[in-house]
Amino acid sequence: MPLPGPLQDLVAEFQRLPGIGHKSAQRLGLHLMAQPVEAIERLASVLVSARRALSRCSVCHDLADGAICRICADPARDGGLLAVVSGTREVLALERTREFKGRYHVLGGLLSPLDGIGPEQLNIRTLLERLRDPALREVLLALEPTVEGEATTLYLSRLLVPMGLTCTRLASGLSAGAELDIVDEVTLARAFEGRRPIA
């Protein structure tokens, strides 16, 4: 038996979401269709009003519920340290460490020529403008150690280093709790290459 048409449409929509396969989409659809109409109308309205209320911070391009996001508006953050990240999830990850007190610049993705994402598709022009700030001491290229992340780090470092800026990247090496015989060889080679003196 196929599902009723309207439910099929809904399941198809859910399957486009990240991490939602056919089974999860069907489960979500059936769960929602068992709720009262009012509950579904409320969910739809929360969804639309959240999207309408959010825009991009005019300084760092992160999600914001005003013209400027909370971090850019916070005078306690260190304006001398700027972390360049691909998106909001990476901002949240760095915030969870509670170690980073600087500001962010959200690129909105990573270079990926095969997907049609070149420098023009990323927020690089506004990054270069922010780099003119004389208070800036260090730019941390906090991009993921993937093919796209490495390409973007290389591209940006070639722009930034000649400007005389201190340009850093996140350390590569062992995860906390890692077992040496299980770690992949690239990670272990990088951990060796980045070895540090003890005390």
Return the bridge partners of 84, or none.
105, 141
- CB nearer to its own copies: give 36 or 113: 36
Q: How near is the Cβ of 176 to its own copies at its closest, in Å?
A: 19
- CB nearer to its own copies: give 92 or 163: 92
- Piece of 59-67, 127-135, 154-162, 174-182 that binds its own copies (CB under 8 A): 59-67
Asked if 54 touches its own copies (CB under 8 A), the answer is yes
Asked if 195 touches its own copies (CB under 8 A), the answer is no
48, 163, 178, 189: which one binds its own copies (CB under 8 A): 48
DSSP code of residue 161: G
**How many angstroms separate the CA atoms of 153 and 64, rounded?**
25
Q: What are phi and psi of 117, to 5 degrees?
A: -105, 100
**How many angstroms separate the CA atoms of 60 and 146, rounded?**
23
- CB nearer to its own copies: give 100 or 143: 100
15, 79, 80, 87: which one binds its own copies (CB under 8 A): 87
15, 79, 88, 151: which one binds its own copies (CB under 8 A): 88
Compute CA 8 distance to the chain's CA centroid, rounded to the nearest angstrom: 32
Cβ(117)–Cβ(152) below 8 Å: no
Buried b / exposed e across 7-24, counting CB within 10 Å, b at 16+? Answer: eeebbeebbeeeebeeee
**How many angstroms separate the CA atoms of 46 and 66, rounded?**
17
Asked if 112 touches its own copies (CB under 8 A), the answer is no
Would you tell me which residues interact with its own copies (CB under 8 A)? 1-7, 9-10, 13, 17-20, 24, 26-35, 37, 40-41, 43-54, 63-65, 69-71, 87-89, 91-92, 95
